[in-house]
Amino acid sequence: MHAVSETLGGWYTMPRMRRALLLTAAAVLSGAAIVSGQPGRSGAPAPLSPRNASYTITARLDPATRTITGAETITWRNITTVAAAELQFHLYWNAWKDNRSTFMRERALAPSDGDRRRTADDWARIDVTAIKVGGDDRTAAKRFITPDDDNADDQTVMAVPLAQPIAPGMTATIEVEWRAHVPRPFARTGAIGDFFFIVQWFPKLGVLQDEGWNCHQFHASTEFFSDFGVYDVSLTVPGKWPLGATGVEIKRFENTDGTTTYRYYQEDVHDFAWTTSPNYLERTARFEHPRLPPVEMRLLLQPEHAAQAERHFDATRTTLRYYGEWFGAYPYGHITIIDPAYQSGAGGMEYPTLFTAGTRWIAPRGVTTPEGVTVHEAGHQFWYGMVANNEFEDAWMDEGLNTYSTARAIAQVYDPNVLALRYFGGFVPWVFRDVVLSRETEGNRLPGYRRDAESDTPSTPSFRYFPATGGSITYDKTALWLNTLERWLGWPVMQRIMSTHFERWKFRHPKPNDFFDVATEVAGRDLGPFFDQVYRSSNVFDYGVQDLKSERDGGQYRTTLAVRRYGEAIFPVDVAVTFSNGEHVTEHWDGTDRWKLYTYDRPFPALSAQVDPDRVLLLDVTYTNNSKTLEPKGGSAATKWSLKWMVWLQDCLLSWAALV
């Protein structure tokens, strides 16, 4: 089960039965079934997805000139109710043609990116040299369009008007030829030395919806959106360079010119990524579980990280196990983990059946690099890979759900998860074994949310978030409100919300209201007011104890407690009071008014009061004002020391927050 072997090709180590199955599927689907759009005949397994955008691609990489020449045949079926009068394609690499693209202009607003000086050869481009639709040459008709802004210099979306509209239900065959230049890495894409990480690399159709084409320009802080299909891709690279890609290798040719051609195949995915480098080491292992299908794991890693192979597999197993148990099974049977080259900038990114992790040469146990990033990126196979939301518009639906899920999975296995910081340019890690990170606050990235809480309203299309702070809303705020929902409704209900959403929307494109509808339906109560607060507003939550007094009044003590809503956002909170005889009183406040007064007449004075004592509301931006104590329990020395400790801890967490 934990077998690890070093091999030249995962395909050749695959059990014979699996190989036969894959070849059968490939043979069936590369024939009539793809073209007719009616897979499932000839005894092939029923498709998991609509498969309305399938790509057969051949491409050749020339590493010396960093050039890719490619040709693709797209079999596209119009699954909407409207006719398509034109086609729209993403040409993502044109975002890195020069610094006048929308991507580069937006990136300039995010100072943390720290762009290096680039030579002319470090930039990218993708030029479509020919396009035919149903045999009709449309090359002269193609033009660039800018659906999101008026930037006439942006060339990341190409429109191709058609001579004949494609009616609903009809299938078109589209043939495209192109030539592209591989950049020095931008946004986890490109080449450094002889390491090539090739993603978002081919002319790719947008998504036709009943409202028309959804084909956004490439933006600095958002990702991608496309339809599901079958990918059959043949890649020619220098002889014997190991290659990793979406899907599984079904054929390999050694060509007379010394190059190698790999053919990869994958059904029911919406993208295809690949990587090659002569330096990759290959390891394989297997995920097994009593109630989930097995998964062959293939790891391509840098030689200097050879000792960390098992850690990558274990972290991937963590995701496959917990996401599988909580949300639903990973159905593809194989997954490829890429450990990218040092300074390639390719770490921590997801593609169907393939993702990049990222580690360092020194990564002692306790430093959850590579575990944190591996669990997260493997997790995107579920939130993004299968449940395929529009990442341009609703990035929180994959990144936020996945940040919440990652923190939950990490807490199952890496417990306690302790603080680790890196010094000297990231080379030297230091593990603070006595500083335990909590899933609820650090795992869900509370420091980032607190910093940028009001920077954007989540319901704004994600590509319009301010680039420098968008991540805090997309990842951090979403994870915090999901975990708040879990603490409020209980995990059994939350688990059913997540698994129902997964089951209902896998291999489809959910919108935010689809998630909110599932949550309300499963919880059996109207959660609309909650989503109004956390999703349709940028207001912050901050409840606190304004005042607590216990004054002698005859033989009694009169205790008055004033609690206050300091923030604009509203959430029901408990208020707990403890008296000196040990008595506890819990009040349930709907949290709507700006303040509320509680009074008690008791023979004993109050000791302390606390708003939200169980910290259900993880979005509360100032938890330190949530409690008040009338008599310190410890001596003054203990208080002094604990305050010092708190300041030090806060410093650590702030530094940590600045690093992630």
Give the residues lining the site for Zn ion (CB under 5 A): 399
E strand map for 438-487: none
What is the C-alpha separation between 150 and 164, in angstroms, rounded? 29
CB of 180 to Zn ion, least distance (A): 25
Nearer to Zn ion, 218 or 355 (CB): 355
Nearer to Zn ion, 296 or 399 (CB): 399
Q: What tokens were used for 37?
A: 């759009």
Number of CB atoms found within 10 A of residue 517's CB? 16
Question: Which residue, among 594, 224, 658, 222, has the nearest Cα to 452 in the 3D structure?
Answer: 658
Number of CB atoms found within 10 A of residue 104's CB? 20
E strand map for 369-463: 417-423, 428-437
CB of 471 to Zn ion, least distance (A): 10
CB of 573 to Zn ion, least distance (A): 31
Q: What CA dihedral angle connects 90, 96, 100 and 104, to 10 degrees?
A: 90
Question: Which residue, among 544, 504, 7, 494, has the nearest Cα to 249 in the 3D structure?
Answer: 7
Q: What DSSP string runs through 64-95?
A: TTTEEEEEEEEEEE--SSS-EEEEEEE-GGGG
Name the residue number minimizing CB distance to Zn ion.
Answer: 399
Nearer to Zn ion, 468 or 489 (CB): 468
Nearer to Zn ion, 400 or 613 (CB): 400
CB of 399 to Zn ion, least distance (A): 5
Nearer to Zn ion, 259 or 368 (CB): 368
Amino acid identity, residue 24?
A: T
What single-letter DSSP state applies at residue 31?
I
Surface-to-core class of residue 15, CB atoms within 10 Å of its CB (0-12 exposed, 13-18 middle, 19+ buried)? exposed
CB of 373 to Zn ion, least distance (A): 9
Question: Which residue, among 296, 306, 356, 300, has the nearest Cα to 330 in the 3D structure?
Answer: 296
Amino acid identity, residue 149?
A: D
CB of 166 to Zn ion, least distance (A): 34
CB of 374 to Zn ion, least distance (A): 12
Nearer to Zn ion, 85 or 660 (CB): 660
CB of 483 to Zn ion, least distance (A): 16
Nearer to Zn ion, 244 or 400 (CB): 400
CB of 376 to Zn ion, least distance (A): 6
Q: What tokens were used for 642?
A: 């604990």
Nearer to Zn ion, 393 or 399 (CB): 399
| Cα–chain center distance at 201 | 20
What is the C-alpha separation between 589 and 574, in angstroms, rounded? 6
b/e burial code for range 565-586 (CB count within 10 A of at least 16 → b): bbbebbbebbbbbbbbeeeebe
Nearer to Zn ion, 371 or 399 (CB): 399
What is the C-alpha separation between 297 and 315, in angstroms, rounded? 11
Nearer to Zn ion, 380 or 565 (CB): 380
Residue 338 in contact with residue 357, Cβ under 8 Å?
yes
Nearer to Zn ion, 399 or 612 (CB): 399
Contacting residues for 278 by C-beta, under 8 A, at least 6 apart: 194, 238, 240, 241, 242
Nearer to Zn ion, 399 or 442 (CB): 399
Distance set, CA 603 to CA 423, 448, 575 (Å)? 57, 45, 21
CB of 402 to Zn ion, least distance (A): 5
Nearer to Zn ion, 267 or 391 (CB): 391
Nearer to Zn ion, 284 or 381 (CB): 381
Tell me which residue has tokens 């990480």: 197
CB of 403 to Zn ion, least distance (A): 7
What is the C-alpha separation between 73 and 425, in angstroms, rounded? 46
CB of 256 to Zn ion, least distance (A): 43
Nearer to Zn ion, 467 or 605 (CB): 467
CB of 78 to Zn ion, least distance (A): 31
Nearer to Zn ion, 148 or 399 (CB): 399
E strand map for 326-445: 334-338, 349-351, 354-356, 417-423, 428-437
CB of 347 to Zn ion, least distance (A): 12
What are phi and psi for residue 131, nearest 5 degrees?
A: -145, 130
Beta bridge partner(s), residue 5: 284
Q: What tokens were used for 328?
A: 């639903």
Contacting residues for 526 by C-beta, under 8 A, at least 6 apart: 520
Number of CB atoms found within 10 A of residue 623's CB? 18
Q: What DSSP string runs through 112-142?
A: GG-PPP--GGGS-EEEEEEEEETTEE-GGG-
CB of 254 to Zn ion, least distance (A): 38
CB of 569 to Zn ion, least distance (A): 26
